[in-house]
Structure 1
Amino acid sequence: MKKAILSTALFFLMYSKSEACAWYDPDYEYFNLFTQSIIKDKSYLPFLHTLSNRFYGHEHYEIPDENIESWQKYFGNTLNYKETKFLVEKAPMEELNSFKKGSSGNSLLQKLGSYEKYKEGIDYLIEAKYLEPFMRINYIESPDSWYYSGDENAKNATQLDYDKTVAALTSLYNAAKNPEIKLRYGYQLVRFNHYTRNYASSTDAFREFVEPLKIKSAPYFMALDQLAGAQRGLKMSSEANYNFFQVFMNSKSRKESAFVSMRLSDSASFDNLLKKAQTPQEKNMAYFLLGYEDFNNPVPMMEKMYDIDPNSEILKVLAARSINDLERSYLPIYFAADNKDNSNSTVTKDQSPQTEKNTVSTELSFWQKIKNFFSNLFSSDKKEVPTKASDQNDSDLLKNPNRIPFYTENTNLWTDERSENYLDGFEKITAKIKEKSSDEFWQIADAYLSFLKKDYKKSTETLNQIKTTNPEYITEINRMKMLNDIVSQPKITAEYEEHLMNTYPELFGAMTSSEFTPDYYGDDRNATQDFIRDILANRYFIQGEEGKSFLMSNKLSDLQYNPNSKLVKSVEDFYKKPNKSSLEQKIIAKNIDDVGNIQAFFNVIYGDREMRLANFEKAKSLYDKAKGFSGIPRFDYDWQEGEKPIVKKINYGDAYNGFQNISSLIFGHNNWESFNSPETQSMKPENFEGFDFIKNTMNKSELAGALIELKKIGMGSGTKASQANQLIGNLLYNTSILGYYRHVFVMDIDNENSPKFHFYNTDEPTFKYYYKNFTWNSFIEPDNFDLSIDYYQKALKQSHDEEQKARILFQMASAEQGKFYQYAEKQSLDLKYDDPDYSKKQEEHAQKINAMQYQKYKTYFAELKKNYGHTQSSKSLQGSCSYYDYFMKRN
């Protein structure tokens, strides 16, 4: 994992398009390839599937208000919808009064002509605008209330004179000649009584002023909504709920509020609605609401709705929701190799958490990602992966179990419920509806389900048969045809890459025209082009083209976080590949652009691995080719909210950059163990003379050259040979996971905490699908402490100085401690937290590990204590190392 992103990546992970505290948006956790909003009746958009908000689509769609449309009709369509909306909702009352007096210069009102033409309507709007600031119910605080109750100075209906207001509205009602205007005054009477908590009077007003008009236009359902509110105040839950239901059915813009009111009115609201439903339309709507409310498997409700009306628009709403729900399991934006769950693990002093291994691949839910964020970075499970080979035939490639997309069982975000794969049942009901309904929506849905089931031939055949002029349908059809083409391809060849670039220039042009690095400031990251990128990365992966797969999802510099030599070689081979296709050049190769001298970057990775294996000659030959290395690519990010970050490459100056500026203290020993202290405080040089080829500051090539010279000297005998081998042992120990210079040969820039520096990170991550989120799995092969011990052993045999031998044995004991840590991390304890003997078993396990430490991993401490405890070096070490002091005093 990138150290640089421990401060920034967690922010990136949590950032979403949502504002304020809503920093997580689950609607960006999958590839949303089926456009739910292609349903024709846009008044049902709020009831499409979303987990980000209570209702869907507010940020994209405005549902027309039938009240505004009613006013537009009243004014003879002289004004358009936007102008009418402004007049009704925004125009100041003073402007209307001026218009009434014939003195208004308002261009919008002048479009209406004279006041006399729309006298009753203008007079009503003047009265309505006078009332509107007061039209809210008065808040009555409960004695037990502890929360903020809102603006105490806000106006409410009780601030108006009740008798005068009712009298005025009644008089205006009686005077109005136009039935629509009369109905609106009736609505105001019902609403005013409701908001003053005169609930009985509100119901009386509805019966007296609204019902006799027998007009069921927009104002009627506005009044019915207020009546239902008053009935709820009278505890007439069943009546209120039924009336809210009527508003829901017949109003376009009040469906959301009516739905919420139904839930508030009656805990068993939707079941009771079904019992009260009188017409087929009402039963159909009740089934819809039941299916919407309990959405685990919508198929049973869809069957009932199909029996009533296969052409029902609300049936399409449930279908669109169902497809979206299935997409979340079939099209996650990230397929994780393993779903790690440490909920039942134990942690002892000498033991890391043991991961629970699952054989089924799953996509991590949000909370699981947060829970496992760092464990994903610092640990991994080894899995067997089907063999990848470039010579697999088409049949083998198509049958590969890791070929995405496929169904993954997810855990519900807010509960422990698991997602249900109802695709087969949903496909059957969709096929039935398709035969009865004339709407092409069902053919599109059927084709999409075939796509999810990987029957791309059937999906394409269905799409080719659709005849439609609906632009939203056409867009969806064209996208699906493209998806079928790409996802069905058994193998991505050079010829097919050219086909992609030529056939879909808009899509692949978008991939080439902008940087691939994710925009953490709100841009959609689950676009169609990102899905295609994942598909291609997956196909290259199972074809055995790891380098291309890696570069589809990562920058070349990301190799530093997991410098796997095999993968690095595959990336290098692609870099050197001649005659690249246009897709390889414009999309894949453009991610090889951020490391400076590219070949030097590769050679540093290779050279570092050889140094860790003590192959100094081979390492030098590689480092000699890397002298143009410009530093491990790290970046500083500076941003302001709502803006893209300013990214600057770090300038190392005279500091260690991954290749240069290595201190000769790398051959020294610890003065005290502190990774955070300056090297001159933590490290002390060996007091050896005659090794002038070790420079005070070196690059890696010079360092490897010094080691080669030391190795030659160490093959001799006597004091100098002993010292040479001791220096080599020091370097190997100091660059191990326990050493101050642990970062030097692992493509890191400093020794600060990193997933590379943890003993439990012992298994190389197994990528099963692609290399997406590669940097979440930072890994370095475990140290071979025997290498340093072997050189110390040579030095010990060659030395005739007891003080030097004491120092060498202490260094050997330190390396041996590293071997113990590696052993301890592999000792598992299958113990549940609810085990009645939990504490006892945990303690017994810890004692067992501790006993093994003293039996097998304290041999050099024991020899130091037995044979050299009297030396000045031993006594000095007791003063600086409390652990050694404890061992010396232990019986």
Structure 2
Amino acid sequence: MKKYILSLAVLSLFYTKTEACAWSDPDYEYFNLFTQSIIKDKSYLPFLHSYSTRFYSDFKASQIPDENIYSWKKFFNNQLNYAEADYLVNKMSINDLNALKKGNLNNQLLIKLGADFYQKYHEGIDYLIEAKYLEPYMKINYVESADSFYYRENESDKNATQLDYNKTIAALTSLYNAAKNPEIKQRYGFQLVRFNHYTRNYDAATQAFKTYVEPIKLKGAPYIMALDQLAGAQRGLGMNSDANWNFFQVFKDSKSRKESAFVSMKLSDTASFNNILKRAGTNDDKNMAYFLLGYEDFNNPIPIMEKMFEIDPDSEILKVMAVRSINELERSYLPVYYYTNDDQSTVQVNNSIKNTDQAKAETTEPKKEELSFWQKIVRFFRKLFGLKDKSPEEIKADQSDDQLLDNPNRIPVFTKNNYWYDDKTKDFLDDLEKFTDKTKEKSKDEYWQIADAYLKFLKKDYKESTKILNDIKTSNPEYQEQIKRMKVLNDIVSQPKIDAEYEDHLMKDYAEYFVDKPEVKKDSTEANEYDYYGEVPSTKDFLKDVLANRYFLQGEDGKSFLMNNKLSDLQYNPNSTLVKSVEDFYRKPNKTQFEEQIISKNINDVGNIDAFFAVIYGDRAMRQADFEKAKSYYAKAQGFTGIPRSEWNYDAKKQTPLKYASNVYNGFNNISDLVFGHNVWESYQSSPDESMEKEDYSQFPFIKPTMNKLELVDALIQLKKIGVGKDEKSATASQLIGNLLYNTSILGYYRQIFVMDIDNSDGGKYSFYNWEKENPYQYYYKNFPNTIYIEQDNFDLAINYYKKALNESTNKEQKARVLFQMASAEQGKYYQYERKTPSKVNYSDPKYSEKSDAYKKNMDQIKNQQYRTYFAMLKTQYANTETARSLMGSCSYFDYFMK
């Protein structure tokens, strides 16, 4: 899968941004460190911030109180708790209630309540029996048209029109007149309004409200439910202004119907809001109207929040607006992955594929270091006495606390990472901080102090943030949890350097944020057990990223890598500098408890770990043509069990380690002698026998048909010794070495052999993009397998061996073959040059075509003048050879060049 993702990185250069891919969910791409749901009034939970769905849904439905159930609890004199009342009203069968009426107690709850329960509350029970009879039919009849697009497979076919209209109206009217309790009476009125609405008798519905609901001067749950139905009927009559106003009243007064009432309002234009504002007679109404306006138009909520503040700084909906604003800011400061700032237009891959420009992070570049007078003197004397300059890692390790704290790449940093980025987003943090600071002075709710402390955290004022948190006194458990988490965040993020002493502090005081907890099975009644996008990013994940970033800035690359990756991930980008840092950590004695339990747990199963490192080092030495050094490593790698990959196990129904067959290449064993051969044609997908052809190995019996890497490097060392001579055998030995170096380069059929890959199928390792950067990472090594990070090939190594062969050989056919191989290697040098010299013509340039053609013409000229040396020699000196004629038949470009 990783090879597939990497290969797409190149393709994405030719496509526009595809953030809306099926597997992308914007609510999973930032760290929600400020818990939106800590608002006290849970009825507003659906109106928290979300890009994935129209309404926020990351909460349990039971968190939103239902005023209807509370109304029934009160009716039954609180003999039932909330859950029991909910069960009685919404879930108990009509048969159980009829049995109760007859004196038969079959239900456990009814047995608990006793036989006299019906006598005490007979009007309520009789109403519930009637309501449960009507409920399955209480849907408007759906009228399908030729243009309808509606999925109805699992819906009940029942609707209100299937009841006898006259009989139903008569029965409900009779029950209404007979009822003595005003609330029960009003509930029958609600049923009359609803039944008329759902049978599309809209005039009758509005009249029923005036006749049966309004005269009873109660404004509780039955009234709200009836008003909801009245508004629906008014919508059916085209009375949109009245409908909106009544849906607005439902939205304002109901706890459980806010989301549905909001949808029903259909506030699609400014005039709709203005009509509601005109009718808003109380501050409460105006405040709610401003909330709706701010919710719908969320580009800059501060002006609306100012109006709401003037009305009521303690308003719960003002807190909802604030938490939505904070959540918007978080998406720019706390993305789950910070893209590398790359002036070379390198493609980075996250959860979905992005094109070059949009994938680039737009973060602050570190300023170029200005040397002080004293530093210049120190450098002068170091050079004078021949002292070696410090390595980049040593320089990082020697940074002062101030240098570490001032590093512009110290996360969290501001990025243009959100989806609807506005140039004023960064300034919005200052504006929101000012508003929050003002509101916390007026409001009695500790929420505003917590919000202010969090905004200080985003601004990296950790000291002030902690001071505010320490001064907060609250008994609210959700507030307490948020405060506790923010104190931990401030402590860790403000620490200049993560050293052994601080790691001990992390394990002593904050182990819960780092140690994995046992997996808890989700309640299937509250959440889908299968989550397509995986787990939502957590505080633990954020802190892991912070520490990975700190280790990276401190020069502890091995620890930084292992905070976000497994040891086995090194195979995807086996950069020798990073590998050495990871190995140094692996071999570090006396690790701290944090290093042992948190970092070292990512040193996963790669078989023999020493052999794993040895193969990577040996491979790098081979790519540098340092065969003796490679042999010293491969001698330690004979316990290598294979490149660690996984495969789907259908029996176990999970990914299990890949088991290599005894005769296939596994990263060390089973290398064919064709690796010394040459291309018949260029086809990576074809079998070795189709794509490659052997040279004459008869003079070199130490080249075995199948070899492991130790045997292969032994053969190369012997060939190298033979190549020192001045005869035909020496020429062939040098040619074979050149062949191997070319065949295992990015252009060769065996390109997988020395880059820790299992086959030559396409992937990021075989792209010329990103190779010129020693380290493309700017913040940490997160998403490591998805960024090319391998030292590039040195094609001159192969060319130099070919030159030896060319100079020593007297066979024209062999010389022709060698020249073609040299030309192929020279082509690789051109590709590297081309990658480092991209066109800088902008698509928006009016002269784009003209400039692009000029760029292409110039590149073609450079290619022909500087990178066609050996093709030219082959054409001018060896065109009449059988080898040249054969190559014209198999290589279309060479045929074109010759003509």
With normalisation by structure 1, the TM-score equals 0.89
Matched residue, 2:758: 749
Query: Which shifted more, 198-207 or 644-653?
Result: 644-653
Partner of 1:3: 3
Offset of 1:572 from its aligned partner? 1.7
CA-CA distance at 1:752 after TM superposition: 1.1
Q: Alpha carbons of 1:688 and 1:146: their partners in 2 closer, same or farther (altered >3 Å)?
A: closer
Using the TM superposition, give the Cα deviation of residue 614 of structure 1 relative to its aligned residue in structure 2, in angstroms.
1.5
- Judged with a 3 Å threshold, the aligned counterparts in structure 2 of structure 1 residues 639 and 444 are, in CA distance, closer, same or farther, namely farther
Tell me how far 1:549 sits from its aligned partner: 0.7
Paired AA for residue 239 in structure 2: M
Matched, 1:407 2:414: yes
Question: Which of 441, 447, 450 is matched with 2:453 structurally?
Answer: 447
CA shift for structure 1 position 266: 6.7
Q: Residue 698 of structure 2 aligns to a residue in which SS?
A: coil
Q: 1:507 to 1:355 in 2, by over 3 A?
A: closer
Q: What's the offset of the Cα at 1:390?
A: 0.8
Aligned residues: 849
1:472–1:323 CA distance, 2 compared to 1 (3 A): same
**Partner SS, residue 389 of structure 1:** helix
CA shift for structure 1 position 862: 2.6
* 814, 821, 825: which one aligns with 1:815: 825
Q: CA deviation at 1:826?
A: 3.6
Deviations 1:112-138 (A, max 9, x none): 533332221122112212222221112
Q: Is the alpha carbon distance of 1:385 and 1:744 closer, same or farther for their aligned partners in structure 2, counting shifts above 3 Å?
A: farther
Match of 1:609 among 605, 620, 638: 620
Cα distance in 2 for residues equivalent to 1:621 and 1:22: 49
CA distance in 2, matches of 1:520, 1:235: 42
Q: Is the 8 A contact 1:612 1:783 kept in 2?
A: yes
Q: CA deviation at 1:278?
A: 0.6
Deviation at 1:429, TM superposition (A): 1.7
Q: What SS does the corresponding residue of 2:496 show, helix, strand or coil?
A: coil
Say if 1:77 and 1:532 are closer, same or farther in 2 by CA, change over 3 A: same
SS of 2:121's partner is helix
Find the partner of 2:486 among 456, 460, 480.
Answer: 480
Distance 1:731 1:506 in 2: 53
Q: 1:355 aligns with which of 333, 345, 349?
A: 345
Structure 2 counterpart of 1:869: 879
Deviation at 1:689, TM superposition (A): 2.7
Output the amino acid matched with 2:353. Answer: I
122-131 vs 225-234, greater mean Cα deviation: 122-131
In structure 2, the partner of 1:784 is: 794
In structure 2, do the counterparts of structure 1 residues 437 and 153 end up closer, same or farther at CA, with 3 Å as the change threshold? closer
Distance 2:402 2:357 in 1: 39
* Correspondence 1:594 to 2:605: yes
Q: 1-side partners of 2:246 and 2:210: how far apart?
A: 14
Distance 1:22 1:614, change over 3 A: closer
Deviation at 1:536, TM superposition (A): 0.8
2:377 matched to 1:394? no
Counterpart among 696, 719, 733 of residue 705 in structure 2: 696
Following the alignment from structure 1 to structure 2, what is the Cα–Cα distance between the partners of residues 212 and 238? 23
DSSP 3-state at the match of 2:714: helix
The question of whether the paired residues in 2 share the 8 Å contact of 1:412 and 1:418 is answered with no
1:594: how far off? 2.3
8 A Cα contact 2:826 2:867, kept in partner: yes
Q: Return the offset for 1:583.
A: 0.7
Show CA shifts across 1:285-342 (max 9, x none): 11111222222222222221111111111122222222222111111111111379xx
Which residues in structure 2 correspond to 1:13-92 (within 5 Å)?
23-57=23-57, 59-62=59-62, 63-92=64-93
1:838 positional shift: 4.8
The residue number in structure 2 matching 1:316 is 319
In structure 1, the residue corresponding to 2:516 is in which secondary structure?
helix
Name the SS for the 2:814 alignment partner.
Answer: helix
Deviation at 1:66, TM superposition (A): 1.0
Q: 1:190 aligns with which of 175, 193, 204?
A: 193
Equivalent residues of 2:9, 2:353 under 8 A apart:
no
Evaluate the alpha carbon distance shift between residue 8 and residue 102 of structure 1 in structure 2; reply closer, same or farther with a 3 A threshold. Answer: farther
Alignment partner for residue 880 of structure 1, among 868, 872, 890?
890
Call closer, same or farther: CA 1:511–1:696 in 2, change over 3 Å: farther
Contact 1:676 1:752 in 2 (8 A): yes
| Structure 1 stretches lacking a partner, 5+ long | 11-20, 341-353, 358-362
How far 1:790 moved relative to its partner? 1.4
The question of whether the paired residues in 2 share the 8 Å contact of 1:556 and 1:595 is answered with: yes
Q: Which residue of 2 aligns with 1:14?
A: none
Match of 1:213, SS state, is: coil
Distance 1:130 1:448 in 2: 52
Contact preservation (8 Å) 1:365, 1:411: no
Cα RMSD after superposing both structures: 3.1
Larger mean CA deviation between 758-767 and 384-393 belongs to 384-393
1:89-128 matched pairs, under 5 angstroms: 89-110=90-111, 111=113, 113-114=115-116, 115-128=118-131
Correspondence for 1:165: 168
1:577-600 per-position Cα deviation (integer Å, ceiling 9, x unaligned): 221111111111222232222232
Cα deviation for residue 237 of structure 1 reads: 1.3
Distance change >3 Å, CA 676–CA 799, structure 1 → 2: same
Alpha-carbon distance change, 574 to 266 in structure 1, aligned in 2, over 3 angstroms:
closer
Moved over 6 A (4+): 4-10, 149-153, 363-366, 373-377, 381-387, 415-418, 511-514
Q: Distance in 2 between matches of 1:8 and 1:875?
A: 38
Alpha-carbon shift at residue 799 of structure 1 (Å): 1.0
Unpaired runs of 5+ in structure 2? Answer: 11-20, 370-391, 521-529
Cα displacement string for residues 430-480 of structure 1 (whole angstroms, at most 9, x for unaligned residues): 122212222221221121111111111111111111122221111111111
Q: 2:159 maps to which residue?
A: 156
TM-score with structure 2 setting the length: 0.88
Question: Could you say what secondary structure the match of 2:215 adopts?
Answer: helix
Rounded to whole Å, the distance in 1 between the matches of 2:541 and 2:653 is 19
**For the Cα contact (< 8 Å) 2:7–2:763, is it kept in 1?**
no
The corresponding residue for 1:505 is: 511
Of 867-876 and 567-576, the range deviating more from structure 2: 867-876
**1:238, 1:266 within 8 Å by CA — same for their partners in 2?**
no
Name the structure 2 match of 1:553. 564
Cα pair distance change 1:365/1:612, threshold 3 Å: closer
Q: Deviations over 1:665-715 (max 9, x none)?
A: 111112232212222232221124321222222222222222222112111
Q: Deviations over 1:748-769 (max 9, x none)?
A: 1111111111233433352111
TM-superposed deviation, 1:853: 3.2
Equivalence for 2:527: none
State the partner residue of 1:347. Answer: none
1:715 counterpart residue number: 724
Q: Using a 3 Å threshold, how does the CA distance of structure 1 residues 481 and 601 change in structure 2: closer, same or farther?
A: same
Task: Describe the shift of the 1:209–1:104 C-alpha distance in structure 2 as closer, same or farther (beyond 3 A).
Answer: same
Matches within 5 A, 1:523-538: 523-538=534-549
For the Cα contact (< 8 Å) 2:611–2:636, is it kept in 1?
Answer: yes
Aligned to 1:495: 501
What do residues 193-251 of structure 1 show as CA deviations (whole Å, max 9, x unaligned)?
Answer: 11122212211111111111111010001011111111111211111111111111111
Identity of matched residues, %: 63
> Pick from 250, 255, 260: which aligns with 2:263?
260
| C-alpha distance in structure 1 between counterparts of 2:638 and 2:807, whole Å | 37
Deviation at 1:142, TM superposition (A): 4.4
Any conservation in 2 of the 1:410–1:419 contact (CA below 8 Å)?
A: no
- CA offset digits 1:411-446 (Å, max 9, x no partner): 426x99985541211112212221222222122112
Deviations for 1:529-583, whole angstroms, at most 9, x for unmatched residues? 1111111111111111111111111111212222222212211221222211111
> Which structure 2 residues correspond to residues 399-438 of structure 1 after superposition, within 5 A?
399-412=406-419, 419=425, 421-438=427-444
> Which amino acid letter does the alignment assign opposite residue 102 of structure 1?
G
For 1:856 and 1:9, the matched residues in 2 are separated by 30
Task: Describe the superposition over 1:159-213 as per-residue Cα deviations: whole angstroms up to 9, x where unpaired.
Answer: 2222222222112111111000100111111111111222122111111111111
Tell me, yes or no, if the aligned pair for 1:2 and 1:778 is still in contact at 8 Å.
no
Q: Choose the corresponding residue for 2:835, options 818, 821, 825.
A: 825
Shift of 1:827: 3.9
Partners of 1:49 and 1:321 within 8 A in 2: yes
Query: 1: distance between equivalents of 2:192 and 2:279?
Result: 28
How many Å separate the matches in 2 of 1:683 and 1:485?
A: 61
Q: CA separation in 2, counterparts of 1:385 and 1:79?
A: 71
Q: SS at the partner of 2:656?
A: strand
Quick check: 849-858 or 305-314, which moved more? 849-858
Distance of aligned partners of 1:678 and 1:248 in 2 relative to their CA distance in 1, 3 Å threshold: same
Q: Which residue of 2 aligns with 1:15?
A: none
Query: Matches of 1:141 and 1:51 in 2, distance apart?
Result: 31
Q: Is the 8 A contact 1:158 1:196 kept in 2?
A: yes
Asked whether the equivalents of residues 23 and 533 of structure 2 are also in contact (C-alpha less than 8 Å), the reply is no
State the partner residue of 2:221: 218
